[in-house]
Amino acid sequence: MSDGSLSQDEIDALLQGGDMNMGAPSGGGADGLSKQEIADFTAIINELLPSQAQNLSNMVGDTVEMSSPVVSVVGRDELVSGLADEIVEVRLNFQDDISGNHSYLIGPDVALTIAGLMMGQQEVELNEAALSAIEEAANTLAGSAATTFGEKSGKSVMTSPGETKKTPSGLISFPEDPIVKLSYQTKIDGKEPAEFIEIFAVNLVKDILGGDELSELGSFDNMAGLDSGNMGQNSGMGQNSGMGQMGGMGQMGGMGQMGGMGQMGGMGQMGGMGQMGGMGQMGGYGSGQQTPNVQSLQFPNLNPQAVSGEQGNIGLLMDVYMEMTVELGRTKKLIKEILGMGEGTIIELDKLAGEPVDILVNHKLIAKGEVVVIDENFGVRVTEIVSPIDRVDSLG
């Protein structure tokens, strides 16, 4: 039972202007997200959700349903306490104009389900091949998310190379605290619903929202306190001869009575948008010499064209070089055998003569082909594009 005194945590919360609910971070300020930022980020994720579910459906070959996520700002200890003892962590950070830490945290049962469906096997273990399958699925989801985040922020967003491991939940490699947590209820056809967790660094979410007009403006409620005592007696704007008596910027409590503009109907008494009094003596607009012809502005309907936007983003990548290699075969040798090699040593590979060779892009298998000779150079004729399941099988 408390003796009525405040704990150090409660004192710190009061000094930082937060509440005294110690069960979770306050969510606002420099260390968290405001309610408006959480609402804006949730809206972006909900917009992204249908394509994410479809991408995952294509990967596993079954219908996948993902519920709208619960977005919260949590401390590291609170995050870990809600996880299974062991999890699969897929760390896929974002980089380029917007960068920050980002991971998927997947329970063992969900991880085995996804890996088994991708590999076409009923029972699998969380070995290297299964983890590679899970990472490939996560890569697809993160790539789609990066495209959406780039469109929303107006900046370039890319994913970094992935790192996937099975680990005790207390050892997740996520340095930030607090953490933005997204919790989805995910259901794969014929399977029990399960929780799917995605975590972001707070600064990453703020960067994503930085280019979004909703986040910059917040809500009208947040604008209500812009008492421009700070903007008020601005020497450059107060007695500005070219703009009349613009002293009114000092009472910008919210753009309310735009006196000088002649009571502009829709913007005149705009409920709490302040007294912008100054625009008053603006060269005849407020002096009664001439009344301007004010008309309502008609905005056209906005019909998003998601496809064209995606094509435009893809177009930015078309001139990027990627390393393509053709692999004739592989083998394993003992160190003593490697040290004993010399001129004339024959190395037997794991492929039969005439068997298709592997075509890799950035060390990822994408196709198979047959070796040909073009003039005096070797070449390869593509005979097969490798499916995701075959790509995973090749890692086993």
Q: Where in the chain is CATH 2.30.330.10?
A: 320-393
pLDDT value for 213: 43
> So what's the pLDDT on residue 265?
40
Whole-number average pLDDT of the chain: 73
- Which of the residue ranges 137-146, 191-200, 283-292, 346-355 would you say has the lowest mean pLDDT? 283-292
Helix axes 202-210, 35-60, angle to 10 degrees: 100
Domain with CATH 3.40.1550.10 in the chain: 32-217
Mean pLDDT (whole number) for 268-291: 44
pLDDT tens-place string over residues 107-141: 888 888 888 888 887 778 888 888 988 998 898 89
- pLDDT tens-place string over residues 300-333: 665 554 444 545 566 677 778 888 999 888 898 8
My answer on whether omega of the bond before 178 falls inside 30° of 0, hence cis, is yes
Cα–Cα distances in Å, from 48 out to 43, 78, 170, 302?
A: 9, 26, 30, 18
Q: Which residue has the higher pLDDT, 143 or 18?
A: 143
Question: Would you place residue 295 in the very low, low, confident or very high pLDDT band (cuts 50, 70, 90)?
Answer: low
Average pLDDT over residues 61-88: 90
- Is 313 exposed, middle or buried, given 0-12, 13-18 or 19+ CB atoms closer than 10 A? middle
Q: What is the pLDDT of residue 192?
A: 82
d(CA 241, CA 121): 79
Is it the case that residue 169 has pLDDT exceeding 60? yes
Fold of the domain built from segment(s) 32-217:
Chemotaxis protein chec (3.40.1550)
Helix/strand/coil percentages in the chain, nearest 5 = 35, 20, 45
Q: Tell me the CA end-to-end span of the chain in Å, nearest whole number.
A: 57
Phi first, then psi, for residue 199 (nearest 5°) are -125, 145
Q: Are strands 194-201 and 70-74 parallel, antiparallel or unpaired?
A: unpaired
- Asked: is 320-393 a CATH 2.60.40.420 domain? The reply is no
pLDDT tens figures, 225-269: 444 444 444 444 444 444 434 444 444 444 443 444 433 443 434
**Residue 217: pLDDT over 90:** no
Q: Using CA atoms of 23, 25, 28, 30 in order, give the dihedral in degrees to the nearest 10.
A: 160
Q: Is residue 139 within 8 Å of residue 162, measured between CB atoms?
A: yes
What is the pLDDT, as a whole number, of residue 387?
80
